[in-house]
Every structure is written in C-alpha cells, then in structure tokens.
C-alpha cells in the first residue's frame, strides 16, 4: 500500500509543483495519520505486589490475565517511581511533568489550577482529540480536554456522581453532578469505549481512562463476590512487626489495626463512616493481637484483590474494543497506578512513605509499532517523565513546567549513557505516624530524611516530630526490614548520599528558600 501511494504521489507531482503548499499538505496529512493514539489507563493504589507480573507472595493468586497480556505484548517498567506517594500530587506530576513544588500540588488538600500547562493542553494544541473519564481528584476543573466526565472528589464505587464542564463546581466548594447507576470501574470503561467509538476519526486521540479502584474501601461488583472464597492468602514475612523498635524504623506508619478499627466502626453505623466498606460486619473482639492482625489481613487482601480483578476485567474489555475497532497497532496503551501501597508489609497498609511498596509505580506500556514485546526495563523512571514521553510519541511539546525526560528510547533498549542513576522524593504532609520527609534512591541504596515538620503544607499536624534518618541497602535488605543508618560500614556511603541529595534538591529547584524553619531543621539535623 505504501509503494502504491508513492506511485500515485509521483504521478501527481506535475500538478502539485505550481502550488507551493501541495506537497507540504500531503506530508502533513500523512504525519497526522501516522501519529499514534494514546489510551492512558490510570488506577489508584493498585500496587505491584498485586499485579502478578512483579512476582511476590500474591503472584499466583491474582486474577490478572489482561495485565499479563499487556506485559507479554509490551514492556514492563521494573523501576518506575513516584516523586510524592499520594494520589493528588502524583496525578499532578503525571499531568504536568513537574514536581510538587513546581506544579503547586503538594498534598491532598491542594488543587491543580486550570491555568497550569499540562500534557492534555499540549496534545490538544498539537491536533489531538483529548478526553478524560473517571477519577480526577485535583479539585479544580480539568483543562486541555475536549471532553471530560469526572468523579466528584474521590468518587463512589457504586452509583458515582460525575461532573462535566457544564455548571462546574470545584470539589472543595460543593458536591454537584449527575449520578450514574452501576459500578464505577465498569461505568468508566463503558464511557471510555463510547467516546473512542464516536470520536472524530480524522484525528489521533489521547484518552485518559482513570479508575477509582483500588482505593480504599476496595469495593467490587457482585460478579466478583465469590472470587477467593475459602482462600487463605500467604502473609508478608514482616506482617507481625508491631512497632518500629525491632527494625529501628523512625516512624510507626498506618498499622493494620487501624483498618480493623475502621471496619468495626462502620459495622456499627455504615452511613456515619467516611466510606462504605464491603463485607461488613467485622469484628476482632476477644482475639489476641496476632490472631486479630491475621484476620484483618485476610479480609483486606480478599477485598483488595476482588477490586483489582475488576480492573483487569475492564482492561480486557478495552483491549477487545481496540481490536474490534482496528486501533490496536497504532494505539499506545499504558496501564499504571498513581503509586504503590502497603499490603501488610511491616504490619502496615496505606502509602505515603518512601518504602519500596508505595514508592514503586507498576507500569506496563504496549505499542506494537515500536516497543519490543515481552521486554522489561530497569532504568529509573519517574512520574514526571510520563508527559515528556507521551509528547515525544505524539510529536508535540512537553508541558511548560515539565522537568522530566522522554524514556521512548529506553523502551527500545537504547538507554542513553547520561540517563539518571538516582531519584529525588518528597512527601510533604506531616503526621506523627508518617512524618514529612525527603529522600534519594539509587540502584542499590536509599536514604531518607524524616524532617518531621508541617512547614507550610496543607492538611498536616501542627506538632512536629524529632527529625530522624533511615538508610537501606536494597541489595542486602531488599524488604527494608532494618534501618542501617547507624551501621559504621555505611558511614562514607551515607555522607556521599547526603551530598547527592542536596545536589538533587538544587537540580529540581526544591530548596525551601522561602521557608526559614526548614533551614533551622537542616542546620541542626542534616549532618548529625
């Protein structure tokens, strides 16, 4: 077909020559046709331990044939990390290609202002149709989308409320929208497929399909209710860690007992609790702490994996639709979670901390025209890189604030010699069980400075905690069971990493120049 087109164009050359724009127009049309479509599927808290393709104790249990299909047909990122492990900041980093201090979304309380440039705006300006369905969670009206229909705030699993541009009200100013009957993951998929089928077929598209799942309360539709009946799931080795004393950890974290308390509270009055949990009532009354923790874990994993199986089910529906529409070969499909999650490791649930489980963003990408099937990439890739990479594929500019780099060549196995060897992380929200902290991770080591002060961060506790350090040798202790900060054999490595952490802060522009309190903390505790 390509040769035939060339012959036709050659035959038309004489006709085109008198008109200076003719040949240029043909090239432009051809370029438009060849630019890939993008289906960007984003979930919430769907941690790599529950994907199967990353191994682990749950790998043989998870229902994930469609995630496995994507992995077999594309490339899996083994070292993809978020720069701030909480939903709104991570999503803002994905959209803008910028760290929290640059895009203005530091915590869950902050919104992404519509005036801030993002990848959707650049796609739109470059001739792409753009759409967003599902979880937005950035409070302000989405910008850069030809069409959007998003949840109010977090969204509900059952009969969620959707908001459009018509009569928009910011999430923190009121609840408004249209209730849609059904289960949210299914509804988001239905609307995504409808938009793709009815799009302008003369333009390439970028569709952002954003699920609420697998965010707490980990609900699931009726068809998943009996999945994992009578299954007893294996437990993480560190699940019976009941405090930081044994590990030398500098924080307690969100322990599983808090999850049990939430279920028991909601069991008494489900409508009075902040979210509607499935499979209640629940109680650990009369149990010792070990038995109680075991019971909490088993319920959490069953709910979580049923919720995750619903995602996989709907990814299968999306892939089938692309096949039926003849779009599979020229559509980049990305499936990624906004961060990872603790599933009982160290006796915890939730995310936020710079430990491997929440830090990792499980990520798979398929593009048959360019990305070798069944490959894995071990480069350090960050959520701030996503916008630049999609822009690279689409032939458009990266967002104005972007600090990331395209990893398009990396996916082809052609990583440049100067690709990053370390990454910078900062979690801004401060609570005593999860102190505000920053850190650096390279291929082997991780160093965290838990500065423990709210500074100016929204949604934080006023009372500071004593600053502390954590250091982990991921080669010796890949599960981060022991804080090795005071181990003398690492003294020189730690000193060097502290220096590198300061350099990274300078490079990304996160210097706290306008925060005198941070300078006081650094002067007193950084070199201790």
DSSP for 98-166, written as a single string: --HHHHS--STT----TTS--HHHHHHHTT-EEEEEE---SSSPP-S-SEEEEESTT--SBS-EEE-ST
- Would you say residue 217 has pLDDT above 90? yes
Strand partners, 255: 348
Whole-angstrom distance, CA of residue 376 vs CA of residue 384: 20
Give me the CATH number covering residue 430. 3.30.1120.10
- Both 389 and 478 in one domain: the answer is no
pLDDT by residue (tens digit) across 260-308?
A: 999 999 999 988 888 899 999 999 999 999 999 999 999 999 999 999 9
- Both 432 and 385 in one domain: the answer is no
- Both 408 and 468 in one domain: the answer is no
Q: Which domain holds residue 471?
A: 421-528
- Both 180 and 246 in one domain: the answer is yes
301 occurs within a structural domain: yes
11 occurs within a structural domain: no
Of 393, 413, 433, the domain-final residue: 413
Averaged over 471-476, what is the pLDDT? 98
DSSP state of 475: T
- Both 219 and 87 in one domain: the answer is yes
* Model confidence band, residue 8 (pLDDT cutoffs 50, 70, 90): very low
- Both 174 and 304 in one domain: the answer is yes
Give me the CATH number covering residue 363. 3.40.720.10
- Both 384 and 506 in one domain: the answer is no
- Both 93 and 177 in one domain: the answer is yes
13 occurs within a structural domain: no
196 occurs within a structural domain: yes
- Both 435 and 400 in one domain: the answer is no
- Both 213 and 356 in one domain: the answer is yes
* Model confidence band, residue 476 (pLDDT cutoffs 50, 70, 90): very high
| pLDDT for the residue numbered 350 | 97
* Model confidence band, residue 380 (pLDDT cutoffs 50, 70, 90): very high
| pLDDT for the residue numbered 10 | 36
**Mean of pLDDT over the chain:** 93
- Both 471 and 364 in one domain: the answer is no
- Candidate from 2-16, 107-121, 183-197, 213-227 with smallest mean pLDDT: 2-16
30 occurs within a structural domain: no
* Model confidence band, residue 173 (pLDDT cutoffs 50, 70, 90): very high
String of DSSP letters for 34-64: HSPEEEEEEESS--GGGTSTT-STTTTT---
124 occurs within a structural domain: yes
- Both 436 and 396 in one domain: the answer is no
81 occurs within a structural domain: yes
- Would you say residue 526 has pLDDT above 60? yes
Averaged over 53-71, what is the pLDDT? 97
DSSP state of 209: E
- Would you say residue 23 has pLDDT above 70? no
* Model confidence band, residue 332 (pLDDT cutoffs 50, 70, 90): very high
- Would you say residue 26 has pLDDT above 50? no
Percent of the chain with pLDDT over 90: 90
- Candidate from 23-27, 95-99, 374-378, 418-422 with smallest mean pLDDT: 23-27
What is the total count of domains within the chain? 2
9 occurs within a structural domain: no
- Would you say residue 25 has pLDDT above 50? no
Of 368, 394, 413, the domain-final residue: 413
* Model confidence band, residue 33 (pLDDT cutoffs 50, 70, 90): low
Cα Dmax for the chain? 90
65-73 vs 289-324: helix crossing angle, rounded to 10: 60
* Model confidence band, residue 24 (pLDDT cutoffs 50, 70, 90): very low
pLDDT by residue (tens digit) across 505-519?
A: 999 999 999 999 999
- Token pair, residue 42, equals 């984003």
Of 413, 431, 463, the domain-final residue: 413
Comparing 232 with 28, the larger pLDDT belongs to 232
């Amino acid at each position: 077909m390509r040769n035939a087109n060339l012959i036709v164009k050659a035959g038309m050359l004489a006709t085109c020559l008198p008109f200076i724009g003719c040949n240029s127009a043909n090239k432009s049309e051809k370029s438009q046709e060849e630019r890939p479509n993008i289906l960007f599927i984003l979930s919430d808290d769907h941690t790599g331990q529950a994907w199967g393709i990353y191994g682990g104790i749950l790998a043989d249990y998870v229902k994930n044939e469609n995630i496995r299909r994507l992995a077999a047909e594309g490339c899996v990122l083994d070292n993809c990390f978020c720069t701030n492990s909480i939903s709104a900041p991570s999503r803002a980093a994905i959209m803008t290609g910028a760290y929290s201090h640059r895009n203005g979304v530091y915590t869950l309380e902050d919104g992404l202002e519509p005036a801030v440039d993002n990848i959707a705006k650049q796609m739109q300006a470059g001739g792409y149709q753009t759409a967003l369905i599902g979880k937005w969670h950035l409070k302000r009206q989405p910008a850069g989308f030809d069409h959007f229909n998003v949840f109010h705030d977090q969204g509900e699993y059952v009969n969620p409320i959707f908001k459009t541009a018509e009569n928009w009200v910011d999430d923190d100013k009121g609840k408004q929208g249209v209730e849609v009957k059904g289960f949210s993951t299914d509804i988001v998929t239905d609307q995504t497929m409808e938009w793709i089928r009815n799009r302008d077929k003369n333009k390439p598209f970028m569709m952002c399909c954003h699920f609420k799942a697998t965010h707490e309360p980990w609900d699931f539709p009726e068809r998943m209710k009996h999945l994992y009946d009578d299954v007893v799931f294996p437990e993480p080795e560190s699940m019976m860690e009941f405090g930081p004393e044994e590990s030398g950890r500098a924080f307690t974290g969100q322990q599983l007992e808090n999850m049990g308390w939430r279920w028991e509270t909601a069991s008494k009055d489900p409508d009075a609790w902040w979210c509607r949990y499935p499979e209640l009532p629940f109680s650990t009354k009369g149990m010792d702490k070990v038995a109680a923790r075991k019971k909490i874990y088993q319920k959490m994993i069953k709910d979580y994996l049923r919720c995750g199986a619903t995602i996989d089910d709907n990814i299968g529906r999306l892939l089938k639709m692309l096949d039926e529409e003849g779009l599979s070969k020229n559509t980049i499909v990305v499936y990624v979670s906004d961060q990872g999650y603790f599933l009982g490791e160290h006796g915890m649930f939730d995310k936020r901390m710079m430990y491997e489980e929440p830090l990792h963003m499980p990520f798979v990408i398929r593009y048959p025209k360019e990305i070798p099937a069944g490959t894995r990439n071990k480069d350090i890739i960050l959520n701030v890189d996503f916008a630049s990479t999609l822009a690279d594929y689409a032939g458009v500019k990266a967002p104005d604030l972007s600090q990331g780099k395209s990893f398009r060549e990396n996916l082809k196995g052609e990583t440049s010699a100067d690709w990053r060897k370390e990454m910078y992380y900062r979690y801004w929200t401060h609570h005593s069980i999860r102190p505000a902290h920053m850190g650096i991770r390279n291929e082997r080591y991780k160093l965290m400075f838990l500065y423990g002060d709210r500074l100016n961060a929204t949604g934080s506790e006023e009372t500071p905690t004593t600053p502390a350090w954590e250091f982990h040798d991921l080669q010796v202790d890949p599960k981060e069971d022991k804080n090795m900060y005071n181990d003398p054999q690492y003294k020189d490595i730690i000193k060097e990493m502290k220096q590198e952490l300061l350099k990274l802060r300078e490079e990304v522009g996160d210097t706290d120049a306008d925060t005198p309190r941070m300078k006081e903390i650094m002067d007193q505790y950084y070199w201790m």
